[in-house]
Amino acid sequence: MFAKILIANRGEIACRVIRTARKLGVRTVAVYSDADARSLHVEMADEAVHIGPSRVGESYLRGDKIIAAALTTGAQAIHPGYGFLSENPDFADQVTAAGLIFIGPSAASIRAMGLKDAAKRLMEKAGVPVVPGYHGEAQEIVLLASKAREIGYPVLIKARAGGGGKGMRRVEHPDEFSEALSSARREAKAAFGDDRVLVEKYVDKPRHIEVQVFGDNFGNAVHLYERDCSAQRRHQKVIEESPAPGMTEALRKAMTDAAVKAAKAINYSGAGTIEFIVDASQGLKADRFWFMEMNTRLQVEHPVTEMVTGTDLVEWQLRVASGEKLPKTQSEIALTGHAFEARIYAEDAAKGFLPATGTLHHLRFPDAAPQGATMRIETGVRAGDAISPYYDPMIAKLVVHATDRQAALEALGAALSRTEIAGSTVNTAFLAALAADPDFAAGDVDTSLIGRHQAALTIVPPPSGETIAAAAVAASGAGASPLSDDPWSSLAGYAHFHSVARRTWLKFGEDDIAAKVSVRPDGRFQVALDKPYDDTNSHDFRAAPRLARWPGHITVFEGAVGYTFAVPDPLARADDAAASTGSLRAPMPGLVKLVRVGKGDAVIKGQPLLILEAMKMEHTISAPHDGVIAEIATEGAQVTDGTVLVRFVEEHNAATTAVS
C-alpha cells in the first residue's frame, strides 16, 4: 500500500478520498487554487500545495503543477478524483513518465473510451450492442444532416468527448438541425476543447442504466451491479439509485455480461462505469439496451453502489493501483437492499436550474437516518464556505440505504425534509418533490420524467402566515438574550400590564410585509401580520420554529423548503430598492459567448439576444418585450451577477430574463 498520495481534485471527492486514505493509514496531499485556500479538503489533508489562480485552466487543469507538487511532497501516486484531469490520457502518461502511479486506468484504456465515436466502434467489434447512429470521423454539416435524415428524427447530437450533458442537443425536425449543431459544437468546444460530434437515434422512453465495473492488473474484471440514473435535468443526473427499479434478471445478466466484456476488451484496470441507454417503452427487455459510453474513472454516484454491495470503491482503487488483486471475486459480491443518492446543488430550480452562488451561512444535515435505514453525507463544504462561480455548484450528496426501495425512498424524503441550508438558493425542495412524485415513487422513471413534470416539481408554495410570523419574531429581536441573536432562547422579560408591540418589516421577493410582535405574560410570542399576507392575522408560538439568521436575512424552514426573508435596513434610502427599467441583467456570473443583435436593432419579445456561458453551460438571453437595442454587451465580456447586458431605447416595465 502507498505511504502517501496526492489528490488532484477539490471539494467533495477530495474529502471522500482523504477519508478512505486515512482509514488505510495513507497520508494525503491536497492541491488548491486561490478560491480554495480555506476549503475543507485543504484542512483535512496532511499537507496542501497551492497550484494557482481560481480558474481551473490555471490550477486544477495544470498537470505540470500537480505533478511537481507530488514530487516535491514525496507522494508516490496521484488520485485524479472525477472531472478535471481524471479522464485525460496525456496527464496519465505524464504521471507515469514522472515515476509516479496514476490511480486509475492506463492511458491506453482512457484513450480507447475517451471519444464516444471511437468507443462505440470498439464496442461493436467486441459484440456489445450500440445505439443506432453515425459515429464516423467526417464532420461536415451536410453529411451530418444527411445522416440525421437516414437515422430518422428525433435525433440526438452529442459531443464525442466529455459528458454531463454538455454539447448535447435533441433535434425534432430537420429545420432545427443546423442551429442545434452549432450550439452543441460551441458548448463542446468550451467544455472539452473538442467540437466534434456524433448523431444518434433518440430513444422515445430512454432509461439511463449504468454498470459499475472494476478491473485489476492481473486480467480480472468484475461488475458491482447496476445504477439507475434516469432522473436527470438538462441531461445531468439528480437522483441515482441501485438497483434499477423494475430490473429483470434477464436484463441484469445481459447488461452486466456486456459491461464486463467491454472492460476486458480494453484490459481495464481500476474503477469504471459502462453506461447504457435502455428503451423502456415496452418494459425492460434484454434486447432493448445499447452501449452509450464508458466513464474511465470513479463516478459521482459511486456511494449508492457502495451501500448495496458493502464495498469501499476508493479503497479498491488504492489497492489495485498499488499492485494488489481485486479484493473480491464476482461470486463474493452480493446485492443487498436499496440505495438512493440525491445531489444537493446551489441552483434555482424554478428558473430552469440556473446555477447559484453565495455563502453557506447556515448548513445543517440530519443527525441520523430514520429507523431501519442508514445514511451518509458526502460533502466538501461546511457552514461559512462560499459557492463560487468557478466550480461545480454541488453542495453535498445525501445517500440513504434501506431494506427495499419504498423504505429507502421514505428515508430519502425524511432526510431532505430535515436538511437546512441558508445563504444560497438550493434545490432541496425540488429533490423532495421529485422523491414524492407518483411516477418516480412507482419506479416509472425515464430521462424525460423531470422535463414532463418540471412545472409541478419546481413550484414552491408561498410561505404560510405562521412562517412569516416566525420570521417577524426573529427579525424583531423580541426577547433575545444578550448572549444570543436567537429570539427563542429566552423570554421577553417583565412587563407590568402588557408588553409593547414591536413593529417589524420584512421583504419576501418583491413583497413588503409589516408585522407587530409582542410577548404574552406566559412568555409566548404573539404576531399580528398586516393583511393580505395572512387571514388569521394572529399567531402564538409555544416552540421555536426551524430558522436561521444571517446578515440581513432570515430563513425559515418548512420541510425541505427554505423561505428566505430580507430584513430591510430602516435607514436605507428607498431609491436604492428601485430597479432601473428597460434593461436586462446577467442572472449569474458568466462569459458573453455570442451576441446575436446590435445597437439600434429592433427586436421582438422572445427573440434571442445573446448567449451567456456559465458553469460550462450555454444560456440564451431573450428579449422580454418588443423594443430597440440601445446598448448590448460585447462578445467575450466576463460579467458578474447583476451586470447590465442589454439596454432598450424605449421605456418598459422591468422584466424577467428569459433563460433556456
Q: Tell me the pLDDT tens digit for each residue of 383-415.
A: 999 998 899 999 999 999 999 999 999 999 999
Contact 23, 315 (CB under 8 A): yes
| Average pLDDT of the residues in 16-20 | 98
Stated length of the chain: 660
Model confidence band, residue 579 (pLDDT cutoffs 50, 70, 90): very low
Q: Answer whether residue 120 shows pLDDT above 90.
A: no
Q: Is 479 helix (H, G, I), strand (E, B) or coil?
A: coil
Q: Answer whether residue 363 shows pLDDT above 60.
A: yes
Q: What is the mean pLDDT of the chain?
A: 89
Q: What angle do CA 15, 20, 21 make, to 5 degrees?
A: 90
pLDDT per residue as tens digits for the range 231-242: 998 888 999 999
Query: Is-above-0.85 flag for pTM?
Result: no
Q: Answer whether residue 625 shows pLDDT above 50.
A: yes
CB count, 10 Å around CB of 541? 19
Q: Which residues contact 24 (CB under 8 A, 6 or more apart)?
A: 1, 315, 318
| Average pLDDT of the residues in 217-243 | 95
Which is it for strands 77-79 and 155-159: parallel, antiparallel or unpaired?
Answer: unpaired
b/e code 279-311 from CB counts within 10 Å (16+ = b): bbeeebeeebbbbbbbbbbbbbbbbbbbbbbeb
pLDDT of residue 534: 56
- Burial (CB < 10 A; 0-12, 13-18, 19+), residue 483, is exposed
| Average pLDDT of the residues in 289-312 | 96
What are the CB-based long-range contacts (under 8 Å, 24+) for 598-604?
A: 598/629, 598/632, 599/629, 599/630, 599/631, 599/632, 600/628, 600/629, 601/628, 601/629, 602/626, 602/627, 602/628, 602/629, 603/627, 603/628, 603/629
DSSP secondary-structure letter at 360?
-
Q: Answer whether residue 640 shows pLDDT above 90.
A: no
How far is residue 604's CA from residue 623's CA, in Å, rounded to a whole number? 7
pLDDT per residue as tens digits for the range 149-181: 999 899 999 998 877 778 999 999 999 999 999
The least confident of 284-298, 393-407, 477-491, 578-592 is: 477-491
In angstroms, what CA-CA distances link 259 with 189, 250, 268, 274, 298?
29, 14, 11, 6, 15
Q: Which residues contact 525 (CB under 8 A, 6 or more apart)?
A: 473, 478, 479, 487, 492, 517, 518, 519, 540, 541
Q: Answer whether residue 186 shows pLDDT above 80.
A: yes
From the candidates 169, 233, 252, 297, which is the catalytic residue?
297
Q: Which residue's C-alpha cell is 418494459?
A: 283
pLDDT per residue as tens digits for the range 250-296: 999 999 999 999 999 999 999 999 999 999 988 888 988 999 899 99
Q: Is 219 helix (H, G, I), strand (E, B) or coil?
A: coil
How far is residue 355's CA from residue 347's CA, in Å, rounded to a whole number? 4
297 is catalytic: yes
- Burial (CB < 10 A; 0-12, 13-18, 19+), residue 185, is buried
Q: Is 203 helix (H, G, I), strand (E, B) or coil?
A: coil
Model confidence band, residue 486 (pLDDT cutoffs 50, 70, 90): low
Q: What is the dihedral of CA 409, 412, 416, 418, to 10 degrees?
A: 110
